[in-house]
Structure 1
């Protein structure tokens, strides 16, 4: 959206929005060309959140900036500060909740229509019908595109790989996210102001995702090495046949 659209979306004039940008309270717009600025839903959510913090919490801009930078003394430490937390997090990590046509994903995934329906069945995404066309959120569109990347890498239906295999990942990620949020809110509610909490949540979203990914990679590598060692040990035996590498590794006594 352009600046005039952002003004209409938020009810805040462009001069005020530019002040927010100068204070570093919201992400910079994308600039596809000189003197051209494009704003997304994350900018609208940031403007609305900042405005509410000004009006409801009576916080000046410099205090909001300090809070977003992690200054725990900059905002009131009470639970009523949490309602705008999701907007601040979304704006800081660039999440856009607006819908896009499913057809827009076809460039990334030629089988997007079929894959989207399969992914919806396992709870990975949500499709919304507008008129005669299906739409989905931008994150959901990325998920459909990712499965297209998997197929392009060789994970095809002919080899037994269907979008439904992601059900394991959906369930694990959903359960993990619920558990993380429960711990986060229980430990911080009433203690950490909204701005610092948003900062901490942003760090958790990125750092713990890397932590989880590295543990997963390490586990896969250890499992593969163990299975390979089992196969080598079995093939060294006189008259041994090649073992199925998918078999469970046997325990070796020391």
Structure 2
């Protein structure tokens, strides 16, 4: 696997748009049905800096929740949320890689927020994760479905340009990053789950200078920044910035950033 498949992360940059990023996770949790046990045992796969993992504790205050991530930087940031929760549960964090993680289980809920696009072949991991659910448990995840949007298309086009292709041609994934909603629905129902799959396009109204660039610096641009290092990354970003300004013009109210996401909630029969 190319080294760029495991980018370095900057929690502070990621959290600059925390409110916008948290909304899809809240929408995902709202569709999760009643869990089979109390206190519930819950895994957050790809927990990042832990700011949305704490939303799980607000929904299930007695639960024992573990957030897993493979980024030491993200886990260090998440550590501030660890400990007993207000409802008598507990929130902990641990190192794990979604590419190989297998539930020690049984879990009442396994949830993943904007992580599986970084996991090649993640659809092949679904059987192990549903096997790790308790009877009546749920697997819930959301992934970005915007790889054809200008923010990602322009990044790929620049990476394949004459100046950058020797270093970046194999850095950014596209067609195999996520699947269509229909593919997820088929995969989850084939595993015997009652599946609810849908998609939503959010129209984020971003503020500040070059806000779309600021957004992708925390996520989709990370493999490029990791691969190039500081000096060359600055040159790449300068070219990319100009293309984004044209694709996402600022208005008097802010910059509109359409963002499609794909959601899946799979309930394991009792």
Check whether TM > 0.5: no
TM-score (norm 1): 0.21
Bigger helix fraction: 1
Bigger Rg, which one: 1
TM-score (norm 2): 0.20
Structure with higher RCO (Cα < 8 A, 6+ apart): 2
